[in-house]
């Protein structure tokens, strides 16, 4: 078996260490004897949804989001949105997460349209949220990461939050929510990278991809001793730093 992980805009939206998510997805597949290929898709490149098993879209600075926002309008954005609506698994972090909503409005700049997959929108303010984060989620239990964003994300009436902020600021520092989930797509502000210390999310994405491509219902568990230790240490560190 083989899974293809497509890193959207990996050549430009890649400064927050989110590559670790792509490596974690590939490695946890390979540990299970599943071949994993990592592809990247940049501005101007056409998206073939049949060639993708898992999407990853990382963070990026405001100026990097401008050409990407333009690129994701029209046919490419429609294809991506339809793929997600059909249940394609995706992790989108920060800048990528923002553009899965209706728009991201950088502070004092022009509004950047997203693809409107999440019923959510983001407005940047003068303050930057930076620091360790701990979130409690129904789907995955506790989640740990690091946030670095000025965009504040607000969820609409049909949106489901990923979880509740235990430590840190999250979507907007006001409503206690962090991230958004819909179908098999997970959006959040959790850099770190997220997946190496949160294996439940990695396995959720891999499982969804195997089910769609090969109709496999069960995912063989892995020994996660190191991930559990790293996760607990990240919580401890968040408790003493924020
Ligand atoms: N440029 C966006 C913001 O500042 C996203 C930042 C990021 O991807 N870390 O909110």
Say yes or no: CB of residue 147 within 6 Å of ligand 1: no
Domain of residue 108 covers: 2-241
Q: Is the CB of 59 within 6 Å of ligand 1? A: yes
- Whether residue 101 has its Cβ less than 6 Å from ligand 1: no
CATH of the domain at 186: 3.40.50.880
| Domains: count for the chain | 1
Which atom in ligand 1 lies closest to the alpha carbon of residue 61? Answer: 1
Nearest to 114 by CA among 168, 167, 76, 85: 76
Q: Are 56 and 5 in contact (CB under 8 A)?
A: yes
Is there a catalytic annotation at residue 191? Answer: yes
CA of 144 to the centre of ligand 1 (A): 18
- pLDDT, tens digit, 9 for 90 and up, residues 150-196: 999 999 999 999 999 999 999 999 999 999 999 999 999 999 999 99
Residue to probe by mutation, ligand 1, list 60, 67, 100, 194, most atoms within 8 Å of CB: 60
End-to-end CA distance of the chain: 43
Neighbours of 215 (CB within 10 A): 7
The tens digit of pLDDT for each residue in 85-135 reads: 999 999 999 999 999 999 999 999 999 999 999 999 999 999 999 999 999
Residue-wise pLDDT for 208-225, tens only, equals: 999 999 999 999 999 999
CA–CA gap between residue 118 and residue 116 (Å, rounded): 6
Q: Is 94 a catalytic residue?
A: yes
Displacement of CA 130 from its chain's centroid (Å)? 17
């Amino acid at each position: 078996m083989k899974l293809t992980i497509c890193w959207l805009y990996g050549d430009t939206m890649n400064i927050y260490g989110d590559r670790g998510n792509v490596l974690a997805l590939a490695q946890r597949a390979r540990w299970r004897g599943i071949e994993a290929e990592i592809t990247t898709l940049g501005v101007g490149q056409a998206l073939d949804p049949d060639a993708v098993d898992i999407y990853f879209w990382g963070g990026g600075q405001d100026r990097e989001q401008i050409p990407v926002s333009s690129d994701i309008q029209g046919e490419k954005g429609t294809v991506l949105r339809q793929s997600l609506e059909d249940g394609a698994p995706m992790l989108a972090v920060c800048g990528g997460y923002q553009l899965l909503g209706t728009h991201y409005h950088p502070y004092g700049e022009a509004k950047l349209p997203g693809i409107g997959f999440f019923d959510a929108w983001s407005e940047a303010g003068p303050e930057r949220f930076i620091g360790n984060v701990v979130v409690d989620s129904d789907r995955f239990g506790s989640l740990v990461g690091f946030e670095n964003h000025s965009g504040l994300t607000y969820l609409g009436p049909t949106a489901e939050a990923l979880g509740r902020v235990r430590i840190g600021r999250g979507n907007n520092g006001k409503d206690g929510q962090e991230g958004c989930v819909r179908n098999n797509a997970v959006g959040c502000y959790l850099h770190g990278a997220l997946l190496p210390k949160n294996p439940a999310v990695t396995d959720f994405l891999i499982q969804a991809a195997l089910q769609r491509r090969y109709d496999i219902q069960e995912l063989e568990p892995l020994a996660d001793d190191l991930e559990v230790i790293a996760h607990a240490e990240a919580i401890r560190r968040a408790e003493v730093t924020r």
